[in-house]
């Protein structure tokens, strides 16, 4: 099992979610996050005072899936979340030891 964490532009969330659903991904966790990479932030002005805003709002998608699906999932996320502009985000992949469904106690791939 692997976990994919994708940091994407918030307005791309629906597109990415639907593409992953089509691929057979059955669940995901989404959070609103802030951060910066090479994109850095932007300028805001209030009553003539300028503020440099470093942390840009992003959306983080977390999905855990079988190893066989990872390559396709990454491809789908890249295809749907990409605008070609700086700030499109990143994908992180890590190993997951186990998963347990709370209701039934099932574990491993049955719990996904």
Partner 1 sequence: MNTGDTSFVLVSAALVMLMTPGLALFYGGMVRGKNVLGTIMQSFIIIALISLEWILWGYSMAFGPDKFGIIGGLEWFGLMGVGLAPHPVYAPTVPHQVFMIYQCMFAVITPALISGAFAERMRFGPFLLFSLLWATFVYNPLAHWIWGDGGWLGRLGALDFAGGVAVHVSSGVAALAAAVILGKRKGYGTEEMRPHNLPMTLLGAGILWFGWFGFNAGSALSAGRLAGSAFVATHVAGCTAALAWIAMEWKLHGKATTLGAASGAVAGLATVTPAAGFVGPLSAALIGLMAGVGCYLGILAKNRFRYDDSLDVVGIHGVGGVIGLVAAGFFASTLVNPGGADGLLFGNPSQLAIQCVAVLTTIVYTFVITYILLKVVDKLFGLRVSEKDEIVGLDLSQHEETGYEF
Kindly tell me which residue out of 38, 46, 84, 97 binds partner 1, with binding defined by CB under 8 A: 46
Does 47 contact partner 1 by CB under 8 A?
yes
Nearer to partner 1, 22 or 47 (CB): 47
Separation of alpha carbons 91 and 102, rounded Å? 27
Separation of alpha carbons 107 and 112, rounded Å? 8
Does 31 contact partner 1 by CB under 8 A?
no
Q: How far is the CB of 37 from partner 1 (least distance, A)?
A: 20
Nearest Cα residue to 31 out of 7, 49, 55, 67 = 7
Kindly tell me which residue out of 29, 42, 53, 94 binds partner 1, with binding defined by CB under 8 A: 53
Separation of alpha carbons 55 and 76, rounded Å? 26
Kindly tell me which residue out of 22, 49, 97, 102 binds partner 1, with binding defined by CB under 8 A: 49
Separation of alpha carbons 58 and 79, rounded Å? 18
Interaction site with partner 1 (CB under 8 A): 44-51, 53
């Amino acid at each position: 099992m692997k976990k994919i964490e994708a940091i994407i532009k918030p307005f791309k969330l629906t597109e990415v979610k639907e593409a992953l659903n089509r691929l057979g991904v059955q669940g995901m966790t989404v959070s609103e996050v802030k951060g910066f990479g090479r994109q850095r932030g932007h300028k805001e002005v209030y009553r003539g005072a300028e503020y440099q805003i470093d942390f840009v709002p992003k959306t983080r998608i977390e999905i855990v899936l079988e190893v066989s699906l990872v390559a396709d999932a990454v491809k789908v996320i890249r295809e749907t979340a990409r605008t070609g502009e700086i700030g499109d985000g990143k994908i992180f992949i890590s190993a997951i030891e186990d998963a347990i469904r709370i209701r039934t106690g099932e574990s491993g791939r049955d719990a996904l």
